[in-house]
Amino acid sequence: MARTVVISGGGTGIGFATALAFARDGDTTVLVGRRPEALRRAAETVAGAVACPADLTRPEGAATVAELVAERFGTVDVLVHSAGGNGGLEPAAESGDPLAATAHDWTVNFRLNTLTAVLLTEALRDRLASPGGRVLFLSSIAAFRGSGSGAYAASKAALHPYAFDLARDLGPRGVTVNVVAPGLIEDTEFFGDSMTPERRQARIDETLNGRAGTPGDVAETVHWLASHAAGHLTAQVIQVNGGAERGR
């Protein structure tokens, strides 16, 4: 039976690839992001997609998604949290003061990666299909290894205990909650223009299979975790990184 799948960050990268994977099954996807134009382009490509522009760092943004779901679908079968990033694409700190810049970096990352996922979850938790609902968070290899500044990694790691608590709360309703933690994934907007050939090669060299990941690698994992077959798998963090977290 066709399902309703809400995907934050569904207009680009991993979220978009995830929408394509569910659309193959005839599911209806609700694509959420801040840029209406990016969502419109994505919804034209993904069969059965509905664009829902919203800023998920704001309670009103999460409420907008919940209202659309309530009016059009009633319940959500699958909730995928792909909205996020390392803050590099967000407005820079206004002050050059080092402490102010640190406060900005940590605030931006926790709003972008943690708050977006928490607000949307809380807005939709009572509408999750019970039994059978699925919640999937996008974390990162950075949550295990650090990310340089620490802010991005910490904001992703914060999702893990939140997901575990949610899995405990929703388990009796027959809803599973899992986290997918990718390594380097190309063909997304994540890195902007900040990726150098040397940095890219260093990331690839860390993998055991000698390649970068694709949005499809992550989308297929999310799609399977949302399947009936994965019904006994909950409160787990699944790493999709070609073994890079173990390293060579």
Ligand X SMILES: NC(=O)c1ccc[n+]([C@@H]2O[C@H](COP(=O)([O-])OP(=O)(O)OC[C@H]3O[C@@H](n4cnc5c(N)ncnc54)[C@H](OP(=O)(O)O)[C@@H]3O)[C@@H](O)[C@H]2O)c1
Piece of 19-27, 76-84, 97-105, 229-237 that binds ligand X (CB under 6 A): 76-84
Residue at shortest CB range from ligand X: 13
| Candidate residues 2, 24, 26, 35; the one interacting with ligand X per rule CB under 6 A | 35
Closest approach, Cβ 118 to ligand X, in A, equals: 12
**239 is a contact residue toward ligand X (CB under 6 A):** no
Give residue 12's region: left, alpha or beta (phi > 0; psi -120 to 50): beta
Contact status, residue 64 vs residue 52, Cβ threshold 8 Å? yes
**87 is a contact residue toward ligand X (CB under 6 A):** no
For 62-105, give the secondary structure using H, E and C.
HHHHHHHHHHHCCCECEEEECCCCCCCCCCCCCCCCHHHHHHHH
Confirm whether 152 is a catalytic residue.
yes
- CA-nearest of 153, 193, 151, 176 to 77 is 176
| Candidate residues 29, 84, 128, 234; the one interacting with ligand X per rule CB under 6 A | 84
Catalytic sites, residue numbers: 152
Which residues of the shown chain bind ligand X in the complex (CB under 6 A)? 8-9, 11-15, 32-35, 38, 55-57, 82-85, 112, 116, 138, 140, 182, 184-185, 188-190
